[in-house]
Amino acid sequence: MTTLHPAHTHQPTPRTIPTFAVISGAQVQNVLHGHAHHIVDLIEATYRLHGTGETINPPSYFLHFPDRPTSRIIALPASLGGTTPVDGLKWISSFPTNIEAGIPRASAVLILNNHDTGYPFACLESSIISATRTAASATLAADHLTRTRPRPRTIGFFGTGLIARYIHTFLTETGWQFDQIGIHDLSPDSAAGFRLYAEQAGTTPWVTVHDTPEELIRTSDLIVFATIAGEPHVTNPTWFNHHPLVLHVSLRDLAPEILLTSANFVDDIDHCLTANTSPHLAEQRTGTRDFLNGTLNDVMSGQATVPTDRTVVFSPFGLGVLDLALGKYVYDEVARTGGLHVVDDFFHELRRYG
């Protein structure tokens, strides 16, 4: 019988059952409000981690309902490496009919899991996190995709909900200045509400509500699509003859023929070319992915160049690792200030045999 010297005996790392905390939307907003520069930097760092393979970001899962065809709930599992590793899941719903009842279309929670034990240690209200990471991603893309082009002076918002407001806020807080804001929305009330918000923000002297999509597109150097469209509704490539930068955040607004005459960048190729997004439809139309110029990380790392003689379209599918990075940042800040609402005895059956 061989006796192992204590120095050669494997000693498991001591592990304890973590606490479980619930972080409210008010706490999330308190941490994130007014910190656009830092948040954009955090999102950039996460994109770079993703580009070097230090993340796991499986395909999103879509829960559809035959009796509610316009509604869906999406699960985005992810794992983030780097210096503060964390795993987790965003569970986000989109119920457009909520708007008619006077409540927001989207609602979400984010679950954070301990990297070593797998135990969930926090549940965060995540509609604010989702809107924030979307706005930070769009702002980051706008910056890098215009470094070889004139910076846009006119911006058009096609769709005027929460995401549009967050994108406008992040752009202006990070130094963007516009001579004119254009607005188009199928709901006159939504367009009027966004116009009032934009005028009260006081960052742009001229705000115009456009009656038609063509008017908005032709008069905008930077166009933000933030709609709930399920299939392409903008089909005329000539509207883009002035070669604007397009932040195609809602992913399904543009017909394939528009993408095929543009330079196209995405956040993740495999993720974006699925679920009948506009890039996915372009792939189905052509049988190839040659219309893609690369990812945002390719641009940031100098592996892809941005043409100056074509419309440039950024189509971000939305990566769960971005939510994780932002959620972990919020958790750490709330914990640092002593504001965690811990649920006592959340994990109860802790003895293997009772």
CATH number, domain of 124, equals 3.30.1780.10
> Is 183 in the same domain as 310?
yes
Q: Which two tokens mark 228?
A: 């709930």
Separation CA 297–CA 226 (nearest Å): 22
**Residue 3 domain-assigned (yes or no):** no
> Is 107 in the same domain as 227?
no
**Residue 189 domain-assigned (yes or no):** yes
How much is the pLDDT for 91? Answer: 97
**Residue 269 domain-assigned (yes or no):** yes
Separation CA 155–CA 120 (nearest Å): 41
Instruction: Output the tens digit of pLDDT for each of the chain's 354 residues.
Output: 333 333 434 445 567 777 999 999 999 999 999 999 999 999 999 999 999 999 999 999 999 999 999 999 999 999 999 988 999 999 999 999 998 898 998 999 999 999 999 999 999 999 999 999 999 999 999 999 999 999 999 999 999 999 999 999 999 999 999 999 999 999 999 999 999 999 999 888 899 999 999 999 999 999 999 999 999 999 999 999 999 999 999 999 999 999 999 999 999 999 999 999 999 999 999 999 999 999 999 999 999 999 999 999 999 999 999 999 999 999 999 999 999 999 998 988 777 787
**Residue 348 domain-assigned (yes or no):** no
> Is 91 in the same domain as 155?
no
**Residue 12 domain-assigned (yes or no):** no
> Is 150 in the same domain as 250?
yes
Of 82, 148, 92, nearest to 124 by C-alpha is 92
How much is the pLDDT for 350? Answer: 75
> Is 75 in the same domain as 161?
no
User: What is the Cα gyration radius of the chain?
Assistant: 22
> Is 91 in the same domain as 167?
no
> Is 190 in the same domain as 209?
yes
> Is 84 in the same domain as 152?
no
Of 141, 216, 145, 149, nearest to 180 by C-alpha is 216
Q: How many CB atoms lie within 10 A of CB 207?
A: 17
Distance of CA 265 to the CA centre of its chain: 15
Domain count, the chain: 2
Domain holding 33, by residue range, is 21-129+320-342
**Residue 175 domain-assigned (yes or no):** yes
> Is 77 in the same domain as 150?
no
How much is the pLDDT for 99? Answer: 87
> Is 154 in the same domain as 296?
yes
Q: Which two tokens mark 142?
A: 């706008």
**Residue 1 domain-assigned (yes or no):** no
CATH number, domain of 217, equals 3.40.50.720
CA atoms 115, 119, 124, 127: torsion sign = positive
> Is 105 in the same domain as 180?
no
> Is 296 in the same domain as 326?
no
CA 352 vs CA 37, 117, 346, 348, 349: distances in Å: 48, 16, 17, 11, 8
**Residue 352 domain-assigned (yes or no):** no
Question: Which residues have C-beta within 8 Å of that of residue 166, sequence separation ≥ 6?
Answer: 131, 132, 134, 135
How much is the pLDDT for 3? Answer: 38
